[in-house]
Chains A and B, each alone.
Chain A
Amino acid sequence: MAITVSGSDAAIASPPLSSRLTTPQVWGIVLLAPYILVFLAFVVYPIGYGLWLARHPASYVALWHDPIFARAAVNTLIFLVVGINLKMAIALFLSGFFAQQRTWIKWLSVLFILPWAVPSIPTILSVRFMLNPEWGMINTLIFRLTGEDGPNWLNDPTVALSMAIAVHIWKSLPFWTLILMTGRLAISHDLYEAAEVDGASWWQKFRFITWPSMQTLYITCTLLSMIWTLGDFNSVYLLTGGGPADLTHVLATLGIRYLRLDQLSLAMASIVCALPFVLPLVYFMMKRLSR
Protein backbone atom coordinates (compact mmCIF):
# COMPACT_ATOMS: atom_id res chain seq x y z
CA MET A 1 0.00 0.00 0.00
CA ALA A 2 1.29 3.44 -0.93
CA ILE A 3 2.17 5.86 1.82
CA THR A 4 -0.85 8.02 2.26
CA VAL A 5 -1.13 11.59 3.39
CA SER A 6 -4.48 12.31 4.88
CA GLY A 7 -3.84 15.45 6.85
CA SER A 8 -2.54 17.88 4.25
CA ASP A 9 -4.68 17.64 1.17
CA ALA A 10 -4.58 21.34 0.31
CA ALA A 11 -1.14 21.03 -1.28
CA ILE A 12 -2.10 17.96 -3.26
CA ALA A 13 -5.45 19.14 -4.47
CA SER A 14 -4.10 21.87 -6.72
CA PRO A 15 -2.41 19.82 -9.52
CA PRO A 16 -4.66 18.10 -12.10
CA LEU A 17 -6.95 15.93 -10.04
CA SER A 18 -7.03 12.77 -12.12
CA SER A 19 -3.29 12.12 -12.09
CA ARG A 20 -2.54 13.04 -8.49
CA LEU A 21 -5.41 11.46 -6.56
CA THR A 22 -4.24 9.31 -3.70
CA THR A 23 -6.20 6.31 -2.51
CA PRO A 24 -7.76 8.07 0.50
CA GLN A 25 -8.90 10.87 -1.77
CA VAL A 26 -10.58 8.46 -4.15
CA TRP A 27 -12.27 6.90 -1.14
CA GLY A 28 -13.19 10.35 0.10
CA ILE A 29 -15.06 11.06 -3.10
CA VAL A 30 -16.64 7.60 -3.21
CA LEU A 31 -17.89 7.95 0.37
CA LEU A 32 -19.22 11.44 -0.22
CA ALA A 33 -20.95 10.47 -3.45
CA PRO A 34 -24.11 8.88 -1.96
CA TYR A 35 -25.04 12.06 -0.12
CA ILE A 36 -24.28 14.22 -3.15
CA LEU A 37 -26.56 12.01 -5.24
CA VAL A 38 -29.37 12.30 -2.66
CA PHE A 39 -28.82 16.04 -2.54
CA LEU A 40 -28.96 16.45 -6.32
CA ALA A 41 -31.96 14.17 -6.81
CA PHE A 42 -34.10 15.21 -3.86
CA VAL A 43 -33.04 18.76 -3.00
CA VAL A 44 -31.55 20.50 -6.04
CA TYR A 45 -33.93 19.06 -8.62
CA PRO A 46 -37.17 19.63 -6.62
CA ILE A 47 -36.17 23.17 -5.69
CA GLY A 48 -35.18 24.02 -9.26
CA TYR A 49 -38.40 22.51 -10.53
CA GLY A 50 -40.41 24.36 -7.90
CA LEU A 51 -38.85 27.69 -8.77
CA TRP A 52 -39.48 27.02 -12.43
CA LEU A 53 -43.14 26.34 -11.66
CA ALA A 54 -43.35 29.60 -9.72
CA ARG A 55 -41.90 31.72 -12.54
CA HIS A 56 -45.18 33.22 -13.87
CA PRO A 57 -45.96 36.71 -12.55
CA ALA A 58 -49.63 35.79 -13.01
CA SER A 59 -49.38 33.38 -10.07
CA TYR A 60 -48.36 36.21 -7.78
CA VAL A 61 -51.19 38.40 -9.02
CA ALA A 62 -53.60 35.54 -8.34
CA LEU A 63 -52.14 35.09 -4.87
CA TRP A 64 -52.46 38.78 -4.17
CA HIS A 65 -56.15 38.59 -4.97
CA ASP A 66 -56.76 35.48 -2.91
CA PRO A 67 -58.02 36.56 0.54
CA ILE A 68 -57.05 33.16 1.95
CA PHE A 69 -53.41 33.85 1.12
CA ALA A 70 -53.46 37.21 2.90
CA ARG A 71 -55.10 35.61 5.90
CA ALA A 72 -52.58 32.77 5.92
CA ALA A 73 -49.69 35.23 5.76
CA VAL A 74 -51.06 37.14 8.76
CA ASN A 75 -51.70 33.89 10.64
CA THR A 76 -48.16 32.73 9.96
CA LEU A 77 -46.81 36.00 11.27
CA ILE A 78 -48.91 35.73 14.43
CA PHE A 79 -47.84 32.12 14.85
CA LEU A 80 -44.18 33.09 14.63
CA VAL A 81 -44.10 36.40 16.46
CA VAL A 82 -46.55 35.64 19.27
CA GLY A 83 -46.30 31.85 19.44
CA ILE A 84 -42.54 31.43 19.26
CA ASN A 85 -41.69 34.30 21.57
CA LEU A 86 -44.19 33.08 24.11
CA LYS A 87 -42.81 29.57 23.83
CA MET A 88 -39.19 30.67 24.22
CA ALA A 89 -40.01 32.92 27.18
CA ILE A 90 -41.73 30.02 28.94
CA ALA A 91 -38.86 27.72 28.03
CA LEU A 92 -36.37 30.19 29.50
CA PHE A 93 -38.41 30.40 32.69
CA LEU A 94 -38.87 26.63 32.97
CA SER A 95 -35.20 25.98 32.25
CA GLY A 96 -34.53 27.76 35.55
CA PHE A 97 -37.15 25.65 37.26
CA PHE A 98 -35.78 22.35 35.94
CA ALA A 99 -32.21 23.35 36.81
CA GLN A 100 -33.18 23.14 40.51
CA GLN A 101 -31.62 20.17 42.29
CA ARG A 102 -34.63 18.27 43.63
CA THR A 103 -35.53 14.62 43.25
CA TRP A 104 -39.15 15.36 42.43
CA ILE A 105 -38.15 17.92 39.80
CA LYS A 106 -35.90 15.32 38.20
CA TRP A 107 -38.87 12.93 37.99
CA LEU A 108 -41.08 15.68 36.67
CA SER A 109 -38.56 16.42 33.94
CA VAL A 110 -38.77 12.79 32.81
CA LEU A 111 -42.53 13.22 32.31
CA PHE A 112 -42.13 16.73 30.95
CA ILE A 113 -40.20 15.43 27.95
CA LEU A 114 -43.08 13.12 26.92
CA PRO A 115 -44.73 15.53 24.42
CA TRP A 116 -41.43 15.66 22.58
CA ALA A 117 -40.90 11.90 22.72
CA VAL A 118 -44.32 10.81 21.46
CA PRO A 119 -45.50 11.36 17.86
CA SER A 120 -47.54 14.50 17.37
CA ILE A 121 -50.44 13.01 15.36
CA PRO A 122 -52.26 11.07 18.11
CA THR A 123 -51.78 13.82 20.68
CA ILE A 124 -53.04 16.54 18.33
CA LEU A 125 -56.08 14.39 17.53
CA SER A 126 -56.55 13.87 21.25
CA VAL A 127 -56.68 17.65 21.76
CA ARG A 128 -59.03 17.97 18.81
CA PHE A 129 -61.48 15.56 20.44
CA MET A 130 -61.13 17.25 23.78
CA LEU A 131 -62.25 20.48 22.14
CA ASN A 132 -65.19 18.96 20.28
CA PRO A 133 -68.21 21.15 21.17
CA GLU A 134 -70.72 18.33 21.66
CA TRP A 135 -68.80 15.29 22.84
CA GLY A 136 -65.45 16.66 23.91
CA MET A 137 -64.15 16.27 27.44
CA ILE A 138 -63.88 20.02 28.08
CA ASN A 139 -67.42 20.96 27.12
CA THR A 140 -68.82 17.91 28.86
CA LEU A 141 -67.09 19.03 32.05
CA ILE A 142 -68.30 22.60 31.57
CA PHE A 143 -71.85 21.31 31.16
CA ARG A 144 -71.63 19.11 34.23
CA LEU A 145 -70.24 21.89 36.38
CA THR A 146 -72.30 24.85 35.20
CA GLY A 147 -75.21 23.34 33.32
CA GLU A 148 -74.40 25.51 30.32
CA ASP A 149 -73.02 24.62 26.91
CA GLY A 150 -69.35 25.41 26.43
CA PRO A 151 -68.07 27.44 23.50
CA ASN A 152 -67.63 25.95 20.03
CA TRP A 153 -63.84 26.12 20.33
CA LEU A 154 -62.58 25.37 16.87
CA ASN A 155 -65.33 27.24 15.09
CA ASP A 156 -63.93 30.63 16.00
CA PRO A 157 -60.86 31.48 13.90
CA THR A 158 -59.09 33.39 16.68
CA VAL A 159 -59.63 30.66 19.27
CA ALA A 160 -58.82 27.94 16.73
CA LEU A 161 -55.52 29.58 15.78
CA SER A 162 -54.66 30.11 19.46
CA MET A 163 -55.33 26.43 20.08
CA ALA A 164 -53.06 25.49 17.17
CA ILE A 165 -50.35 27.68 18.71
CA ALA A 166 -50.98 26.04 22.09
CA VAL A 167 -50.59 22.60 20.53
CA HIS A 168 -47.36 23.69 18.90
CA ILE A 169 -46.06 25.01 22.22
CA TRP A 170 -47.13 21.84 24.00
CA LYS A 171 -45.17 19.73 21.53
CA SER A 172 -41.92 21.64 21.28
CA LEU A 173 -41.60 23.34 24.67
CA PRO A 174 -39.73 20.38 26.25
CA PHE A 175 -37.07 20.41 23.54
CA TRP A 176 -36.27 24.10 23.89
CA THR A 177 -36.42 23.95 27.67
CA LEU A 178 -33.84 21.17 27.55
CA ILE A 179 -31.57 23.15 25.24
CA LEU A 180 -31.81 26.29 27.35
CA MET A 181 -31.20 24.22 30.48
CA THR A 182 -27.87 22.97 29.14
CA GLY A 183 -26.98 26.63 28.60
CA ARG A 184 -28.03 27.49 32.12
CA LEU A 185 -26.11 24.63 33.71
CA ALA A 186 -22.96 25.84 31.97
CA ILE A 187 -23.00 29.05 34.01
CA SER A 188 -20.56 28.91 36.91
CA HIS A 189 -22.27 28.46 40.25
CA ASP A 190 -19.73 30.74 41.92
CA LEU A 191 -21.29 33.74 40.23
CA TYR A 192 -24.63 33.06 41.89
CA GLU A 193 -22.99 32.46 45.26
CA ALA A 194 -21.12 35.75 45.02
CA ALA A 195 -24.36 37.51 44.09
CA GLU A 196 -26.08 35.82 47.03
CA VAL A 197 -23.44 37.17 49.38
CA ASP A 198 -23.94 40.65 47.94
CA GLY A 199 -27.67 40.31 48.62
CA ALA A 200 -28.77 40.38 44.98
CA SER A 201 -32.47 39.86 44.34
CA TRP A 202 -33.89 37.13 42.13
CA TRP A 203 -34.39 39.60 39.31
CA GLN A 204 -30.88 41.06 39.64
CA LYS A 205 -29.37 37.58 39.45
CA PHE A 206 -31.31 36.90 36.27
CA ARG A 207 -30.61 40.33 34.77
CA PHE A 208 -26.87 40.46 35.46
CA ILE A 209 -25.75 36.82 35.48
CA THR A 210 -28.18 34.51 33.69
CA TRP A 211 -29.30 36.69 30.80
CA PRO A 212 -25.87 37.97 29.68
CA SER A 213 -24.52 34.43 29.42
CA MET A 214 -27.65 33.05 27.77
CA GLN A 215 -28.74 35.74 25.36
CA THR A 216 -26.82 34.46 22.32
CA LEU A 217 -28.13 30.95 22.85
CA TYR A 218 -31.63 32.29 23.45
CA ILE A 219 -31.68 34.35 20.26
CA THR A 220 -30.22 31.51 18.20
CA CYS A 221 -32.88 29.16 19.55
CA THR A 222 -35.63 31.66 18.82
CA LEU A 223 -34.55 32.12 15.20
CA LEU A 224 -34.09 28.40 14.67
CA SER A 225 -37.49 27.72 16.13
CA MET A 226 -39.03 30.34 13.84
CA ILE A 227 -37.53 28.72 10.74
CA TRP A 228 -38.75 25.28 11.76
CA THR A 229 -42.17 26.48 12.80
CA LEU A 230 -42.74 27.80 9.28
CA GLY A 231 -42.77 24.13 8.34
CA ASP A 232 -45.17 23.09 11.12
CA PHE A 233 -47.94 21.56 9.10
CA ASN A 234 -49.37 19.14 11.67
CA SER A 235 -50.43 21.53 14.44
CA VAL A 236 -52.73 23.47 12.17
CA TYR A 237 -53.79 20.85 9.64
CA LEU A 238 -54.78 18.15 12.11
CA LEU A 239 -56.38 20.46 14.65
CA THR A 240 -58.39 22.85 12.47
CA GLY A 241 -57.78 21.60 8.93
CA GLY A 242 -57.36 25.29 8.04
CA GLY A 243 -60.97 25.92 8.97
CA PRO A 244 -63.39 27.40 9.77
CA ALA A 245 -63.84 28.77 6.25
CA ASP A 246 -60.09 28.56 5.51
CA LEU A 247 -59.42 31.27 8.09
CA THR A 248 -56.73 29.50 10.12
CA HIS A 249 -54.34 28.44 7.35
CA VAL A 250 -50.64 29.12 7.71
CA LEU A 251 -48.20 29.07 4.79
CA ALA A 252 -47.29 25.43 5.45
CA THR A 253 -50.89 24.23 5.12
CA LEU A 254 -51.78 26.69 2.37
CA GLY A 255 -49.16 25.24 0.01
CA ILE A 256 -50.66 21.79 0.51
CA ARG A 257 -54.18 23.19 0.06
CA TYR A 258 -53.23 24.61 -3.35
CA LEU A 259 -51.57 21.34 -4.23
CA ARG A 260 -54.79 19.46 -3.39
CA LEU A 261 -56.74 21.89 -5.57
CA ASP A 262 -54.26 21.19 -8.36
CA GLN A 263 -53.01 24.79 -8.34
CA LEU A 264 -49.38 23.84 -8.27
CA SER A 265 -48.00 27.15 -9.48
CA LEU A 266 -49.91 28.94 -6.72
CA ALA A 267 -48.56 26.47 -4.17
CA MET A 268 -45.01 27.22 -5.23
CA ALA A 269 -45.61 30.96 -5.52
CA SER A 270 -46.93 31.09 -1.95
CA ILE A 271 -43.73 29.43 -0.77
CA VAL A 272 -41.54 31.75 -2.85
CA CYS A 273 -43.30 34.70 -1.20
CA ALA A 274 -42.02 33.49 2.17
CA LEU A 275 -38.41 33.30 1.00
CA PRO A 276 -37.51 36.99 1.58
CA PHE A 277 -38.28 36.40 5.26
CA VAL A 278 -36.76 32.95 5.52
CA LEU A 279 -33.46 33.49 3.71
CA PRO A 280 -32.04 36.16 6.07
CA LEU A 281 -32.81 33.89 9.02
CA VAL A 282 -31.19 30.94 7.25
CA TYR A 283 -28.15 33.03 6.35
CA PHE A 284 -27.76 34.07 9.98
CA MET A 285 -28.09 30.50 11.21
CA MET A 286 -25.57 29.25 8.66
CA LYS A 287 -23.07 31.82 9.88
CA ARG A 288 -23.60 30.66 13.46
CA LEU A 289 -23.46 26.93 12.90
CA SER A 290 -20.93 26.38 10.13
CA ARG A 291 -17.98 27.70 12.11
Chain B
Amino acid sequence: MKLPTLREIGTEAKLLLIGIPVLIWTMVPIYHMFLFAISPKQDAFSGKLWPDHPTLHNFHIVFYQQHYFLRDFWIQFWNSVVIALSAGALTLLIATAAAFSISRLRTPGGRWVMNLALLTYFIPAAFLAVPMYRTMGTYGLLNNHWSLILAMVTIASPYAIWVLKQASDKLPVELDEAATMDGATTLQLFRLVYVPLMMPSLVAIGTYAILLAWNEYLYAFLLLSKDTEITLPVALGNFLAADDSPWELLMTTGFIYALPPAAIYYAFKRYMVGGLTAGAVKS
Protein backbone atom coordinates (compact mmCIF):
# COMPACT_ATOMS: atom_id res chain seq x y z
CA MET B 1 0.00 0.00 0.00
CA LYS B 2 1.19 3.45 -0.92
CA LEU B 3 1.25 6.09 1.76
CA PRO B 4 -0.53 9.31 0.78
CA THR B 5 1.85 12.14 -0.01
CA LEU B 6 1.74 15.40 1.86
CA ARG B 7 0.15 17.05 -1.15
CA GLU B 8 -2.66 14.50 -1.28
CA ILE B 9 -3.37 15.03 2.41
CA GLY B 10 -3.47 18.76 1.79
CA THR B 11 -5.98 18.37 -1.04
CA GLU B 12 -8.16 16.10 1.07
CA ALA B 13 -8.06 18.56 3.97
CA LYS B 14 -9.07 21.41 1.70
CA LEU B 15 -11.98 19.37 0.36
CA LEU B 16 -13.09 18.55 3.90
CA LEU B 17 -12.87 22.20 4.77
CA ILE B 18 -15.51 22.83 2.09
CA GLY B 19 -17.49 19.65 2.67
CA ILE B 20 -18.12 20.00 6.39
CA PRO B 21 -19.64 23.51 6.25
CA VAL B 22 -21.76 22.41 3.28
CA LEU B 23 -23.04 19.44 5.26
CA ILE B 24 -23.89 21.59 8.29
CA TRP B 25 -25.55 24.32 6.19
CA THR B 26 -27.67 21.74 4.38
CA MET B 27 -28.75 19.74 7.39
CA VAL B 28 -29.42 22.36 10.07
CA PRO B 29 -33.02 23.34 9.15
CA ILE B 30 -33.95 19.72 8.44
CA TYR B 31 -32.32 18.42 11.61
CA HIS B 32 -34.01 21.15 13.62
CA MET B 33 -37.36 20.02 12.25
CA PHE B 34 -36.58 16.39 13.04
CA LEU B 35 -35.39 17.33 16.55
CA PHE B 36 -38.67 19.06 17.31
CA ALA B 37 -40.62 16.11 15.96
CA ILE B 38 -39.02 13.65 18.39
CA SER B 39 -38.88 16.00 21.41
CA PRO B 40 -41.42 16.30 24.19
CA LYS B 41 -42.59 19.90 24.53
CA GLN B 42 -40.29 20.87 27.43
CA ASP B 43 -37.19 19.38 25.74
CA ALA B 44 -37.92 21.13 22.47
CA PHE B 45 -37.34 24.57 23.94
CA SER B 46 -34.29 23.77 26.02
CA GLY B 47 -31.83 24.27 23.16
CA LYS B 48 -30.35 20.78 23.44
CA LEU B 49 -28.94 19.17 20.32
CA TRP B 50 -30.47 15.82 21.25
CA PRO B 51 -33.52 15.45 23.53
CA ASP B 52 -33.13 13.75 26.93
CA HIS B 53 -36.17 11.63 26.26
CA PRO B 54 -36.72 11.18 22.52
CA THR B 55 -40.29 10.14 21.85
CA LEU B 56 -42.73 9.37 19.08
CA HIS B 57 -45.55 10.85 21.08
CA ASN B 58 -45.86 13.83 18.71
CA PHE B 59 -46.50 11.48 15.81
CA HIS B 60 -49.16 9.77 17.89
CA ILE B 61 -50.91 13.11 18.48
CA VAL B 62 -50.78 13.96 14.78
CA PHE B 63 -51.98 10.57 13.57
CA TYR B 64 -54.87 10.52 16.04
CA GLN B 65 -55.67 14.19 15.39
CA GLN B 66 -55.52 14.98 19.11
CA HIS B 67 -55.01 18.72 18.85
CA TYR B 68 -57.16 21.65 17.83
CA PHE B 69 -54.83 22.51 14.91
CA LEU B 70 -54.76 18.91 13.74
CA ARG B 71 -58.39 17.93 13.85
CA ASP B 72 -58.54 17.66 10.03
CA PHE B 73 -55.06 16.22 9.49
CA TRP B 74 -56.06 13.10 7.58
CA ILE B 75 -58.56 14.84 5.33
CA GLN B 76 -55.95 17.50 4.56
CA PHE B 77 -53.39 14.82 3.82
CA TRP B 78 -55.91 13.15 1.54
CA ASN B 79 -56.62 16.50 -0.20
CA SER B 80 -52.91 16.91 -0.88
CA VAL B 81 -52.69 13.39 -2.30
CA VAL B 82 -55.75 13.78 -4.54
CA ILE B 83 -54.68 17.17 -5.84
CA ALA B 84 -51.08 16.12 -6.49
CA LEU B 85 -52.06 12.92 -8.30
CA SER B 86 -54.82 14.60 -10.34
CA ALA B 87 -52.55 17.46 -11.36
CA GLY B 88 -49.82 14.96 -12.26
CA ALA B 89 -52.13 12.77 -14.36
CA LEU B 90 -53.80 15.71 -16.11
CA THR B 91 -50.50 17.43 -16.85
CA LEU B 92 -49.11 14.20 -18.25
CA LEU B 93 -52.16 13.67 -20.45
CA ILE B 94 -52.29 17.22 -21.81
CA ALA B 95 -48.55 17.63 -22.25
CA THR B 96 -47.96 14.25 -23.89
CA ALA B 97 -50.78 14.85 -26.35
CA ALA B 98 -49.47 18.33 -27.13
CA ALA B 99 -45.85 17.21 -27.49
CA PHE B 100 -46.88 14.32 -29.78
CA SER B 101 -48.93 16.69 -31.87
CA ILE B 102 -46.20 19.33 -32.14
CA SER B 103 -43.21 17.07 -32.54
CA ARG B 104 -44.47 13.98 -34.38
CA LEU B 105 -47.56 15.12 -36.31
CA ARG B 106 -46.04 18.56 -37.00
CA THR B 107 -49.41 20.20 -36.57
CA PRO B 108 -49.46 23.64 -38.21
CA GLY B 109 -49.04 26.34 -35.59
CA GLY B 110 -47.47 23.86 -33.18
CA ARG B 111 -44.30 25.88 -32.92
CA TRP B 112 -46.35 28.89 -32.01
CA VAL B 113 -48.13 27.04 -29.24
CA MET B 114 -44.75 25.83 -28.01
CA ASN B 115 -43.42 29.38 -27.80
CA LEU B 116 -46.51 30.66 -26.02
CA ALA B 117 -46.18 27.82 -23.54
CA LEU B 118 -42.54 28.72 -22.96
CA LEU B 119 -43.59 32.31 -22.36
CA THR B 120 -45.96 31.11 -19.63
CA TYR B 121 -43.09 29.15 -18.10
CA PHE B 122 -41.24 32.41 -17.59
CA ILE B 123 -44.05 34.29 -15.88
CA PRO B 124 -43.15 34.32 -12.17
CA ALA B 125 -45.78 32.18 -10.46
CA ALA B 126 -46.62 34.81 -7.85
CA PHE B 127 -47.43 37.33 -10.59
CA LEU B 128 -50.01 35.09 -12.19
CA ALA B 129 -51.49 34.23 -8.80
CA VAL B 130 -53.46 37.46 -8.33
CA PRO B 131 -55.31 37.43 -11.68
CA MET B 132 -55.66 33.63 -11.43
CA TYR B 133 -57.43 34.04 -8.10
CA ARG B 134 -59.95 36.42 -9.63
CA THR B 135 -60.39 34.24 -12.69
CA MET B 136 -61.16 31.19 -10.57
CA GLY B 137 -63.73 33.33 -8.78
CA THR B 138 -65.31 34.24 -12.11
CA TYR B 139 -65.44 30.57 -13.12
CA GLY B 140 -67.02 29.76 -9.77
CA LEU B 141 -64.22 27.35 -8.85
CA LEU B 142 -62.96 28.99 -5.64
CA ASN B 143 -62.85 26.61 -2.66
CA ASN B 144 -63.09 23.74 -5.10
CA HIS B 145 -60.22 21.29 -5.57
CA TRP B 146 -60.50 21.71 -9.31
CA SER B 147 -59.29 25.29 -9.05
CA LEU B 148 -55.97 24.18 -7.56
CA ILE B 149 -55.65 21.18 -9.87
CA LEU B 150 -56.21 23.33 -12.95
CA ALA B 151 -53.88 26.05 -11.69
CA MET B 152 -51.15 23.44 -11.14
CA VAL B 153 -51.74 21.97 -14.60
CA THR B 154 -51.42 25.47 -16.06
CA ILE B 155 -48.10 26.01 -14.31
CA ALA B 156 -46.67 22.54 -14.88
CA SER B 157 -47.63 21.89 -18.49
CA PRO B 158 -45.41 24.46 -20.29
CA TYR B 159 -42.24 22.91 -18.94
CA ALA B 160 -43.71 19.44 -19.41
CA ILE B 161 -44.50 20.10 -23.07
CA TRP B 162 -41.08 21.60 -23.64
CA VAL B 163 -39.17 18.69 -22.10
CA LEU B 164 -41.33 16.11 -23.85
CA LYS B 165 -40.96 17.88 -27.19
CA GLN B 166 -37.18 17.95 -26.81
CA ALA B 167 -37.20 14.23 -25.99
CA SER B 168 -39.56 13.23 -28.80
CA ASP B 169 -37.64 15.25 -31.39
CA LYS B 170 -34.83 12.77 -30.77
CA LEU B 171 -36.92 9.76 -31.82
CA PRO B 172 -36.21 8.86 -35.47
CA VAL B 173 -38.89 9.83 -38.03
CA GLU B 174 -38.46 6.43 -39.69
CA LEU B 175 -40.20 4.87 -36.72
CA ASP B 176 -43.45 6.71 -37.44
CA GLU B 177 -43.12 6.05 -41.15
CA ALA B 178 -42.60 2.33 -40.62
CA ALA B 179 -45.57 2.09 -38.28
CA THR B 180 -47.76 4.03 -40.70
CA MET B 181 -46.70 1.78 -43.56
CA ASP B 182 -47.79 -1.19 -41.49
CA GLY B 183 -51.21 0.42 -41.35
CA ALA B 184 -51.07 1.91 -37.86
CA THR B 185 -53.58 4.66 -37.29
CA THR B 186 -52.42 7.88 -35.64
CA LEU B 187 -53.90 6.82 -32.34
CA GLN B 188 -52.17 3.43 -32.51
CA LEU B 189 -48.93 5.20 -33.35
CA PHE B 190 -49.39 7.29 -30.22
CA ARG B 191 -50.36 4.43 -27.96
CA LEU B 192 -48.15 1.62 -29.21
CA VAL B 193 -45.03 3.39 -30.45
CA TYR B 194 -44.77 6.86 -28.97
CA VAL B 195 -45.80 6.36 -25.35
CA PRO B 196 -43.67 3.23 -24.69
CA LEU B 197 -40.59 4.90 -26.17
CA MET B 198 -41.13 8.07 -24.17
CA MET B 199 -41.57 6.25 -20.85
CA PRO B 200 -38.48 7.61 -19.06
CA SER B 201 -39.40 11.21 -19.90
CA LEU B 202 -43.02 10.58 -18.98
CA VAL B 203 -41.99 9.25 -15.57
CA ALA B 204 -39.82 12.33 -15.04
CA ILE B 205 -42.57 14.73 -16.05
CA GLY B 206 -45.24 12.95 -14.02
CA THR B 207 -43.00 13.10 -10.97
CA TYR B 208 -42.23 16.75 -11.64
CA ALA B 209 -45.91 17.69 -11.81
CA ILE B 210 -46.84 15.64 -8.73
CA LEU B 211 -44.07 17.21 -6.66
CA LEU B 212 -44.96 20.70 -7.92
CA ALA B 213 -48.59 20.29 -6.86
CA TRP B 214 -47.75 18.59 -3.55
CA ASN B 215 -45.33 21.39 -2.61
CA GLU B 216 -47.46 24.32 -3.75
CA TYR B 217 -48.32 26.82 -1.04
CA LEU B 218 -49.27 30.19 -2.58
CA TYR B 219 -52.00 29.01 -4.96
CA ALA B 220 -53.36 26.54 -2.42
CA PHE B 221 -53.60 29.25 0.19
CA LEU B 222 -55.34 31.67 -2.18
CA LEU B 223 -57.73 29.26 -3.86
CA LEU B 224 -58.83 27.05 -0.95
CA SER B 225 -59.95 28.23 2.45
CA LYS B 226 -62.23 25.77 4.25
CA ASP B 227 -60.42 23.68 6.89
CA THR B 228 -61.63 20.46 5.32
CA GLU B 229 -60.73 21.58 1.78
CA ILE B 230 -57.19 22.90 2.25
CA THR B 231 -54.00 20.98 1.61
CA LEU B 232 -51.29 20.22 4.19
CA PRO B 233 -48.96 23.17 3.44
CA VAL B 234 -51.83 25.62 3.97
CA ALA B 235 -52.67 23.88 7.23
CA LEU B 236 -49.02 24.26 8.27
CA GLY B 237 -49.14 27.97 7.44
CA ASN B 238 -52.31 28.31 9.52
CA PHE B 239 -50.41 27.19 12.62
CA LEU B 240 -48.76 30.61 12.55
CA ALA B 241 -52.09 32.31 13.18
CA ALA B 242 -51.80 31.63 16.91
CA ASP B 243 -48.99 32.96 19.11
CA ASP B 244 -48.94 29.85 21.28
CA SER B 245 -48.95 27.41 18.38
CA PRO B 246 -47.51 24.00 19.28
CA TRP B 247 -44.21 24.06 17.41
CA GLU B 248 -43.34 20.47 18.12
CA LEU B 249 -46.61 19.36 16.50
CA LEU B 250 -46.17 21.74 13.59
CA MET B 251 -42.68 20.39 12.97
CA THR B 252 -43.94 16.81 13.27
CA THR B 253 -46.68 17.48 10.72
CA GLY B 254 -44.15 19.24 8.50
CA PHE B 255 -41.82 16.28 8.78
CA ILE B 256 -44.58 13.85 7.77
CA TYR B 257 -45.55 16.16 4.91
CA ALA B 258 -41.93 16.37 3.68
CA LEU B 259 -41.35 12.61 3.63
CA PRO B 260 -43.38 11.53 0.55
CA PRO B 261 -41.82 14.05 -1.88
CA ALA B 262 -38.32 13.29 -0.58
CA ALA B 263 -38.96 9.56 -1.02
CA ILE B 264 -40.37 10.08 -4.51
CA TYR B 265 -37.45 12.28 -5.42
CA TYR B 266 -34.86 9.74 -4.39
CA ALA B 267 -36.79 6.84 -5.91
CA PHE B 268 -37.01 8.57 -9.30
CA LYS B 269 -33.72 10.43 -9.07
CA ARG B 270 -32.38 8.51 -12.05
CA TYR B 271 -35.20 9.83 -14.23
CA MET B 272 -35.28 13.26 -12.63
CA VAL B 273 -31.62 14.01 -13.19
CA GLY B 274 -31.50 12.52 -16.66
CA GLY B 275 -34.87 13.73 -17.88
CA LEU B 276 -35.09 17.13 -16.30
CA THR B 277 -31.68 18.65 -15.90
CA ALA B 278 -30.66 17.70 -19.41
CA GLY B 279 -33.59 19.68 -20.71
CA ALA B 280 -33.57 22.37 -18.06
CA VAL B 281 -30.77 24.42 -19.49
CA LYS B 282 -29.57 23.72 -22.96
CA SER B 283 -26.09 25.09 -23.46
Contact = CB atoms under 8 A, between A and B. Distances in A.
B228 interface: no
Given A6-B106, A119-B261, A137-B47, A114 B154 contact: no
A47 B135 CA distance: 9
B185 A1 contact: yes
Contacts, number: 292
Contacts of A264: 130, 134
Chain B CB within 10 A, most for which of A137, A271, A274, A290: A137
B192 interface: no
Given A117-B265, A227-B124, A123 B117 contact: no
B233 A121 contact: yes
Nearest to A29: B107
Nearest to A220: B281
A257 B134 CA distance: 15
Interface string A93-118: 01001001010110010111111111
Interface string A13-24: 100000000011
A51 B265 CA distance: 38
Q: How large is the interface on B (under 10, 10 to 19, 20 to 34, 35 or more residues)?
A: 35 or more
A281 B278 CA distance: 22
Contacts of A23: 185-186
Dominant secondary structure of chain B at its interface with chain A: helix
Contacts of B134: 46, 49-50, 53, 264
B185 to A, nearest CB: 6
Nearest to A4: B180
Contacts of B15: 97, 100, 102, 105
Contact of A122 (B115, B214, B251, B280): B251
A1 B253 CA distance: 57
A49 B164 CA distance: 31
A74 interface: no
B277 A114 contact: no
Given A47-B128, A114-B262, A231-B125, A135 B45 contact: yes
Interface in A226-244: 227-234, 237-238, 241
Q: How large is the interface on A (under 10, 10 to 19, 20 to 34, 35 or more residues)?
A: 35 or more
B187 A36 contact: no
Given A6-B180, A38-B154, A170-B29, A27 B236 contact: no
A263 B114 CA distance: 34
Interface in A252-291: 252-253, 255-256, 259, 264, 267-268, 271, 274, 278, 281-282, 285-286, 288-291
Nearest to B80: A119
Chain A CB within 10 A, most for which of B100, B262, B283: B283
B177 A125 contact: no
B212 to A, nearest CB: 10
Nearest to A231: B124
The 10 closest A-B pairs by CB, nearest first: A122-B254, A231-B124, A140-B47, A28-B107, A50-B131, A252-B126, A28-B105, A46-B131, A117-B265, A31-B97
Interface of B: 15, 18-19, 22-23, 25-30, 32-33, 36, 45-47, 93-95, 97-98, 100-102, 104-108, 110, 113-120, 122-135, 138-139, 150-151, 153-154, 157, 161-162, 173, 176-177, 180, 183, 185-187, 190, 214-215, 217-218, 222, 233, 236-237, 239-240, 247, 250-251, 253-255, 257-258, 261-262, 265-266, 273, 277-278, 280-283
Given A39-B116, A130-B32, A135-B45, 12 more contacts: A9-B108, A32-B110, A32-B113, A35-B94, A35-B157, A46-B135, A50-B130, A118-B30, A179-B277, A268-B130, A282-B122, A289-B282
19 contacts: A9-B105, A9-B108, A28-B106, A34-B94, A35-B113, A38-B150, A42-B150, A43-B120, A47-B131, A50-B131, A111-B26, A119-B261, A129-B36, A220-B281, A220-B283, A233-B125, A268-B130, A278-B127, A281-B122
